[in-house]
Amino acid sequence: MKNDLFLRALRGEPLERTPIWIMRQAGRYLPEYRQTRQKAGDFLQLCKNPELACEVTMQPLERFDLDAAILFSDILTIPDAMGLGLHFVEGEGPQFHRPLNTPEDFKKLSVPNIEETLGYVTQAVRVIKKELNNRLPLIGFSGSPWTLATYMIEGKGTREFKKVKKLLYQNPEAFKELLRLLADAVTEYLRAQIDAGVDAVQIFDTWGGQLSAQTYKNGSLWSMQLVMDALTQSHPHIPKILFTKGGAHWLPIISQTNAQALGLDWSADLPNVIKYLSALPAHQKKAIQGNLDPAVMLCTPDVIRREAEAILQAVGTYTGHIFNLGHGITPDVPPDNLKVLVDYVHERSQAIRSSS
């Protein structure tokens, strides 16, 4: 690997500078992405076309000096493969034609055959790996079982999560079985991505922070741990990043998992997080990934540099920091602003680390 900074950060090795990649770096803020998407037809057709998925995966790497590529796909491919009928409504985000309504609906589901139903994803991984040609590591990913369940039950995005939570509280046993099934599916899906060539995996627990502490522990975190245990068994050398958005206050329990790195959203108090992680025994040490507020990317270059500097200062010389936003980059960010961020993080982190 020509640039393996990202992988070395995941292993907690001392580095000459901080690696950076950006959630949704292949996305709507790039005019060339919008062009390819139009060529594909719509977002889902873009995900399902390995050559075009490769094309958009590579686009941000041509513009910016990023330290990792991430597979272009969607977090909801698994429920689509299970037959729920994923589609995208303009301006409203993802929806399912056949959402789950009762615990009886859960029982009709089974783990999909990955090569048959999600072969377009593993094929995209192979095409991208070839195109990357060992220039940078490639990140594979999946939604967490709980995050998949929220969409599968609500049928679309939601602010209040009432339908899914009512089912969760009212039918804890059946819900646990649903999460177990989804954990099996996520495991098989990530294994297939790894076998096709990804160098690390990230679990996006986008809606974990919506749970109560107890249902997070016994539900979302429990099912992600099933996935990570299985991956550790089958692929011990592939690092795992766990990102629970809104989960900063659960750091004491999240840091006990066997993830190599923790994703942090912008609300996480970095000095406290680093103090906590630094006090853990060596075998429990975690890399961290984040956590610039995506709204900063809408500001002028001086503000972007000021806020990036604050994060680099807070991290100091902690070994194992991967710079990222606290959530995906938004479509209204001027692409040049990302260049400002990437270049600043590289220059300044090198200066900070060489002077310490």
**Is residue 307 a contact point for a second copy (CB under 8 A)?**
yes
Catalytic one of 33, 151, 318, 344: 151
For residue 328, count CB atoms less than 10 angstroms from its CB and return exposed for 0-12, middle for 13-18, buried for 19 or more: middle
**Is residue 152 a contact point for a second copy (CB under 8 A)?**
no
Q: What is the CA radius of gyration of the chain?
A: 19
E strand or H helix at 262 = strand 261-263
Packing angle between helix 301-315 and helix 335-355, nearest 10 degrees?
30
Q: Tell me, yes or no, if 169 is annotated catalytic.
A: no
100, 211, 231, 342: which one contacts a second copy (CB under 8 A)? 211
- Which residue, 185 or 254, is less far from a second copy as judged by CB? 254
Catalytic one of 24, 80, 216, 318: 24
Number of shown-chain residues binding a second copy (CB under 8 A): 41
Contact letters for a second copy, residues 162-201 (x by CB under 8 A): x--xx--xx-------------------------------
Least distance to a second copy, CB of residue 218, Å:
11
Name 356's Cβ contacts closer than 8 Å, sequence gap at least 6.
Answer: 316, 317
Q: Tell me, yes or no, if 305 is annotated catalytic.
A: no
Least distance to a second copy, CB of residue 93, Å:
11
E strand or H helix at 244 = strand 240-244
- Tell which positions 261-290 bind a second copy, by CB under 8 A: 266-270, 272
**Is residue 252 a contact point for a second copy (CB under 8 A)?**
yes
Q: Where are the alpha helices (DSSP H) in the chain?
A: 5-10, 31-40, 43-47, 50-63, 77-81, 103-107, 114-132, 145-154, 162-170, 172-196, 213-215, 222-234, 251-254, 270-278, 301-315, 335-355
**Is residue 220 a contact point for a second copy (CB under 8 A)?**
no
Integer angstrom CA distances of residue 338 from 5, 97, 190, 307: 19, 36, 29, 13
138 vs 25: CA distance, rounded Å? 13
- Which residue, 187 or 206, is less far from a second copy as judged by CB? 206
Q: Tell me, yes or no, if 344 is annotated catalytic.
A: no
Catalytic one of 74, 199, 205, 265: 74
Query: Where does this chain touch a second copy (CB under 8 A) — which range of 64-72, 144-152, 175-183, 204-212?
Result: 204-212
Q: β-strand 86-89 against 321-325: which pairing, if any?
A: unpaired
Active site amino acids: 24, 28, 37, 74, 151
Residues lying near a second copy in the complex (CB under 8 A) are found at 159-162, 165-166, 169-170, 209-216, 246, 248-252, 266-270, 272, 291, 293, 295-296, 298-300, 303, 307, 310, 326, 330, 332
